[in-house]
A and B are shown apart, each in its own frame.
Chain A
Amino acid sequence: DIQMTQSPASLSASIGDRVTITCRASQVVGHYVAWYQHKPGIPPKLLIYGASILQVGVPSRFSGSRSGTDFNLTISSLQPEDGATYYCQKYNTAPLSFGGGTKAEIK
């Protein structure tokens, strides 16, 4: 099975900082990667799909990119409401694996 290795496991950054989270797929998954934001007590929220397509309604400070089997989620200017755990997911074929998650803390 294809593994999605996500890094870092946690980060702490200040308001206005640029933050990048990375997922590396163990095999080719094409552009079939999505990113979700998850806050306690709230369902996960889709941010990015197709590696780089912003979901409708998601602020433009979020962006996604792909280089081969490496996928990045970037927050260009961190905001207080961005404190959450972020997950990548590959969906080219079963199993639809998630990365281990990145917990983003606002300093």
Chain B
Amino acid sequence: EVQLLESGGGLAQPGGSLRLSCVATGFTFNIYAMSWVRQAPGKGLEWVSSISDDGASTYYADSVQGRFIISRDNSKNTLFLQMNSLRAEDTAVYYCAKARDSFFESYNDYWGQGTLVTVSS
């Protein structure tokens, strides 16, 4: 059974940093691309970032480009999102999602439960 378990959310101050993790089980992690998708309170889903299966290619939404860094450790079946220079508008539930393919241009067939990030002073 595919499982994605996010952690690392919490309260951060504007300008601060947080690092999200997503541990994957139940599938061969290193042959699939992965993504982060977020949902701000009362808003819709927003794609944040994606990474290819080998970690060589990464992509970001304009809203987080230059502030967030996606990475993965295939030896530990773990996906990361380093979030820097946080803003109030980054407040959201962050979902880890598995892509159907090795390349990021793919739909997401499994999603984690999400972790809440709140940016506030």
Contacts and interface: CB of A to CB of B under 8 A. Distances in A.
B13 interface: no
Interface residues of B, number: 23
Contacts of B106: 91
A6 to B, nearest CB: 9
Interface string A50-89: 0000010000000000000000000000000000010101
Contacts, number: 60
Instruction: Give chain A's interface residue range (CB within 8 Å of chain B).
Output: 20 to 34
A36 B45 contact: yes
A44 B106 CA distance: 15
Contacts of A98: 37, 44-47
B107 A49 contact: yes
A-B pairs, top 10 by smallest CB distance, nearest first, are: A43-B111, A34-B107, A101-B44, A94-B59, A96-B47, A49-B107, A98-B45, A46-B109, A91-B107, A44-B111
